[in-house]
Amino acid sequence: MRVFNLFRYAWLIVCIALLSACSSEPVKDSSKSKLCDGKVHRLTVLHTNDNHGHFWRNHRGEGGMAARKTLVDQIRKEVEAEGGAVILLSGGDINTGVPSSDLLDALPDIKGMNLIGYDASAVGNHEFDNPLPILMQQAKWAEFPLLAANIYRRDNGQRLFKPYTILTAGDLKVAVIGLTTLDTVTTSNPDVVKDLDFRDPVTEATALMPELQKQADIVIAATHLGWYFRGEHGVNAPGDYRLANEVDGVDVIAGGHSQDPLFRPDIKNSTYIMQAFEWGKYVGRADFIYRDGILKLTEYRLVPVNLKEKVIRDGKKTYVYIDKQIPEDPEMLDLLMPYQQKGEERLSVKVGSTNARLPGDRAEVRFHETALGRLIAMAQMERTGADLAVINSGGIRASIPEGDITYRDVLKVQPFSNQVSYYELSGKDLKNYLQVIGSMPPDSGAFAHFAGVTMTVEDGMLKKLLVGGKKVDDNKTYRMAVNSFSASGGDGYPKIEDKPGFINTGYIDAEVLKEYIQKNSPIDVKKYAPKGEVKRY
C-alpha cells in the first residue's frame, strides 16, 4: 500500500514538472496542449524567398534549382539520420524577373519547387503581375499550398487561398500561416487586384492564432511582408517586425519581399524573423530543438547556392565559390533544361549595343535618375509622340551591362508587360501632376524618372518647370507618356486612365524599349545621363 502511494506521489511530481514546463509558454489556447513528452524533437526549417523566375543558374553558374535540390536533399538526409524532421517553405514572389520563366508563366519554377518538395509558400505581390486566371492555374500546378490569410475576394467575401496548413514533422504538428503585404494593393496592376480585398495581416493572424495553436505545437508564418531594420518601414507597408511585435504565439517568420540576407535571425517578442535574400542565392537553414512546449534555435545559417566572389588572380579578375561547390541534381536538370532551351532560343538574339553600363539596379534607380531611366522615358516619349515622359523607378528592374544587348537584357529591365500610354492635359493640370510625381520619395518604386522635363520641386512644391526647354503655358495642351501601371494609380500615382485625353497604346514597354535600342545603337550612355535637369529638395 505504502509502495503504491509512493509510486503515485512520484508520478504526480513528474506530471507537475512536465505540466509546468509546457505551461511556461506564453499565450496558449487550452483546448490542445502542446506536445509534452519530455523528449527532445529536432526540427529543421529550410526557406527561400523572392525566387523571381530564377529556376536556372545564372551566367556565372550561381544559384539555380538543380543545385538547390541537391543541397536540400543533403540536408534532409543529414537531419533525418539524426532523427529530425525537415520542412521547406517559400516566402513568395515566385514570379517575375527572368524572361524564360516569365514567358512560361513560372511553370518551370513551380515544377522545380514540386520536385524539391516545398511544403508551402506565401503569396507574394508579384504573384499578381499576371492576370488572376494565370495565378489560379499556378496554384493548380503547385503540389504545395499557396497560403494567404489576408486576401479576400470582393464578390463572395471568401479567402482567395487557404489561410494556413498543418504539417506533420516527426512527432510535431507545425502550423504554417501565409500573409501577403498590403503593398500589393499599390504596387500591382490595379486591373488585376481590383476585385480583391487585402486586409491587415496582423488582424488576420491574431484572429487565427487560437485555431492554429489548437492544432499545432509550433506556429510559423510564411510571409511576404518585408523585414525592415527596427521595423522602420518608411513608405512601405509594415512588415514582419510588426507581425512579431503585435501577434503573440508566432514562433518563426520565414519572410520575403524586402529581399534581405538576414545572416542572423532578428528576434522580436520571442519570434525568430528570417529571410534568405533573393533569387535562390541562399537557402536559409534553421535548426531547432523542441522540448515540452519550448522551441529553441540551436543554429542558423544562410547556405550559399554556388555563390561566387570576385578575386584577382595573376592580375586577372575571376570568380570563385564562396563555399564548396554543390553539384546540380540530374533529375532537376532533365526537368528544367527544355524550358531553359526554349527561353534561350527566343531571347538570345542581339538587338543592339551600348558603349557603357546602363544603370538600373534598385539601389540606383530608386534614389536618383539614371541614364537607363532617361532612355526608357525617351523611348516611350518617341513612340507616343509625347512632349515629356515619366517612368516610376519600380518599373526599372535591372541594369544593362556594357556591350551587346539582347531581348533578354531588355526584358530583365522591364519584365512586367506594362503598356505604354499617353495623356493629353493642360499646362495647369500638368503642373499639378508633376508636383505630385516629383515629390515621390526616394527608396520607393514611386520615385520618378523623366524625359523632356526641367524642373525643381522643393518641399512638395513645384518651383520651376520647363517642357522641351520652354516655360509651360497653363492653357496649352501637352502630351505626356506614362505606363499603364502608373496611369491606373499604381505606386500611389494620380489615377488618370479613366480621364478624357488618356490613351493606352497597347504597346508593351519592353518591346518599345527594344525597338528604341535597335534604332539608336550603339547607345551612347553619356547622351542619356541626367545632368541635373530635375532637382528635388
Binding to Zn ion by residue 275, rule CB under 5 A? no
Candidate residues 51, 70, 95, 125; the one interacting with Zn ion per rule CB under 5 A: 125
Which of 56, 88, 89, 61 has the alpha carbon at shortest distance from 75?
A: 88
Identified binder of Zn ion from the candidate list 257, 412, 449, 479, rule CB under 5 A = 257
- Shortest distance (Å) from residue 380 CB to Zn ion: 25
| Helical packing angle, 107-116 and 330-347, nearest 10° | 170
Q: Would you call 334 a catalytic residue per the annotation? A: no
DSSP lists the bridge partners of residue 319 as 310
Scanning 144-152, 252-260, 315-323, 324-332 for contacts with Zn ion by CB under 5 A, the matching segment is 252-260
Query: Closest separation between CB of residue 14 and Zn ion, Å?
Result: 49
Sign, CA torsion 148/150/155/156: positive
Q: How far is the CB of 213 from Zn ion (least distance, A)?
A: 28
| 54 belongs to the catalytic site | no
The distance from CA 224 to its chain's CA centroid, rounded to whole angstroms, is 7
Q: How far apart are CA 190 and CA 198, in angstroms?
A: 12
Cβ 237 to Zn ion, closest distance in Å? 11
Q: How far apart are CA 77 and CA 388, in angstroms?
A: 59
Q: What residue type is 393 in one-letter code?
A: S
- Name the one range near Zn ion by CB under 5 A: 75-83, 117-125, 158-166, 237-245: 117-125
Please, what is the Cα angle at 22 between 17 and 26, to 5 degrees? 135
Among candidate residues 129, 287, 329, 509, the one labeled active-site is 129
Q: Is 242 in the site for Zn ion (CB under 5 A)?
A: no
Give the x/- contact pattern for Zn ion in 68-87, rule: CB under 5 A.
--------------------
Q: Between 125 and 223, name the residue whose CB sits nearer to Zn ion.
A: 125
Distance CA 392, CA 377 (A): 10
CA distance 16 to 8: 12
Q: How far is the CB of 325 from Zn ion (least distance, A)?
A: 30
The answer to whether the beta carbons of residues 397 and 417 sit under 8 Å apart is no
103, 339 in Cβ contact below 8 A? no
Task: Tell me whether residue 366 is one of the annotated catalytic residues.
Answer: yes
CB of 184 to Zn ion, least distance (A): 8
Q: Is 50 a catalytic residue?
A: yes
Given 41, 57, 242, 366, the catalytic residue: 366
Q: Which of residues 350-389 bind Zn ion (CB under 5 A)?
A: none
Please identify, among the stretches 4-12, 90-98, 103-111, 295-303, the one whose residues bind Zn ion according to the rule CB under 5 A: 90-98
Catalytic residue among 42, 224, 242, 383, which? 224
Q: Which residue is nearest to Zn ion (CB)?
A: 257
- Only one of the segments 37-45, 164-172, 233-241, 253-261 lies at the binding site for Zn ion (rule: CB under 5 A); that segment is 253-261
Cβ(377)–Cβ(391) below 8 Å: yes
Q: Report phi then psi at 384, rounded to 5.
A: -100, 0
Which residue, 125 or 275, has its beta carbon nearer to Zn ion? 125
Q: Is 93 a catalytic residue?
A: yes
Nearer CB in complex with Zn ion: 184/384? 184
**Is residue 124 a contact point for Zn ion (CB under 5 A)?**
yes
Which residues touch 488 (CB under 8 Å, ≥6 apart)? 189, 190, 191, 495, 497
- Among the listed residues 397, 449, 479, 536, the single catalytic one is 397
Q: What is the DSSP letter of 216?
A: -
**251 is a contact residue toward Zn ion (CB under 5 A):** no
- Catalytic residue flag (residue 138): no
DSSP string, 465-529: EEETTEEPPTTSEEEEEEEHHHHTTGGGPPP-TTSTTEEEEEEEHHHHHHHHHHHHPSB-HHHHS
What is the grid cell recorded at 457?
A: 520641386
| Encoded amino acid at 119, one letter | D
Between 111 and 224, name the residue whose CB sits nearer to Zn ion.
Answer: 224
Number of residues that bind Zn ion (CB under 5 A): 4
How many Å apart are CA 416 and CA 422, to the nearest integer?
A: 18
292 is an interface residue for Zn ion by CB under 5 A: no
Which grid coordinates belong to 216? 499545432
Q: Does 180 bind Zn ion (CB under 5 A)?
A: no
Is residue 93 near Zn ion by the rule CB under 5 A? yes
Decide the pairing of beta strands 271-274 and 252-254: parallel
- 224 belongs to the catalytic site: yes
CA distance 69 to 71: 5
Q: How far is the CB of 116 from Zn ion (least distance, A)?
A: 21
Nearer to Zn ion (CB atom), residue 63 or residue 445: 445
- Residue whose CB is less far from Zn ion, 50 or 292: 50
Q: Is position 257 annotated as part of the catalytic site?
A: yes
- Smallest gap from Cβ 93 to Zn ion, in A, equals 4
DSSP 316-336: EEEEEESSPPPPPPHHHHHHH
- In the numeric block, the cell 516566402 is attached to 91
Give the Cα separation of 188 and 127 in Å (integer).
9
Question: At 472, phi and psi to the nearest 5?
Answer: -85, 130
Catalytic residue among 49, 95, 125, 189: 125
For residues 504 and 421, is the Cβ–Cβ distance under 8 A?
yes
* Region near Zn ion per CB under 5 A, out of 65-73, 102-110, 123-131, 374-382: 123-131
Options 79-87, 124-132, 195-203, 334-342: segment touching Zn ion (CB under 5 A): 124-132
- Whichever of 92 and 438 has its CB closer to Zn ion, that residue is 92
Q: Please, which residues have CB within 8 angstroms of residue 438's CB and are 6 or more apart in sequence?
A: 448, 455, 457, 462, 534, 536
Cβ nearer to Zn ion, comparing 84 with 238:
238
- Catalytic residue list: 50, 52, 93, 125-126, 129, 224, 257, 259, 362, 366, 397
Q: Which residues bind Zn ion (CB under 5 A)?
A: 93, 124-125, 257
